[in-house]
Amino acid sequence: MVFPLSAIVVMGVAGCGKSSVGDAISHRSGGRLIEGDVFHPAANIEKMSAGIPLNDDDRAGWLTRLGEEMSACVASGERAILTCSALKQAYRDKLRAAVPNLGFVFLELTREEAADRVSHRPDHFMPASLIDSQFATLENPTGEVLTLPLDATLPIATLAEKVDAWLHNHDHDQDASLPQSA
């Protein structure tokens, strides 16, 4: 039996559109948007702002906090919609351990597109110089259970529609746990 997704993580490298797509999903499908960047400790923000990539130790406490936020959201009866890079399978597994029936929406795009998008975000702490490290760290989740890979260059409304359909199918007890492609 397939159970409804209790929460979803909109994931991918910097510049893939996690915040915009997460916001669109929360408006279209319902649920509470949890912006993962808000939970980075100051030391992480300073490190990234200086062009230094985060390591596993830097991310550990942050991922724990994100899991706690999603868990509290689900416990209150809401579907959590978290934006989080979740670049490694170990990071995704840590989030899965915090929340049962957790789905992932993987926004895929090229290194060039990511660099271009990030270069047009002058007020964001993540510099374009860290794009290569993001791709070096990324362990592609395509094929992992409860993961929906999507082309991040599609219009935001189209991406939200695709996620809404995926959620609807899953919520109505159809087998949406199989890998799907956009």
pLDDT digits (tens, 9 = 90+) for 106-142: 999 998 998 888 777 666 566 566 788 889 999 999 9
pLDDT at 177: 43
The better pLDDT of the pair 21, 118 is held by 21
Beta bridge partners of 102: 7
Q: Supply the pTM of this predicted model.
A: 0.87
pLDDT at 173: 56
pLDDT at 1: 42
pLDDT band at 60 (very low <50, low <70, confident <90, very high): very high
CA torsion angle 139 145 148 152 (round to 10): -10
Averaged pLDDT for residues 23-44: 91
41-48 LR contacts (CB < 8 Å, sep 24+) = 45/125, 48/125, 48/126, 48/127, 48/130
25, HSE (Cβ side, Cα atoms, 13 Å): 31
pLDDT band at 180 (very low <50, low <70, confident <90, very high): very low
User: Which segment of 53-57, 79-83, 169-173 scores lowest on mean pLDDT?
Assistant: 169-173
Rounded CA-CA distance 144/70 in Å is 20
Enumerate the domain spans of the chain. Answer: 7-171
Pick the CATH number of 7-171 from 3.40.50.300, 3.40.50.1820, 3.40.50.170, 3.40.30.10: 3.40.50.300
pLDDT at 127: 59
pLDDT at 15: 87
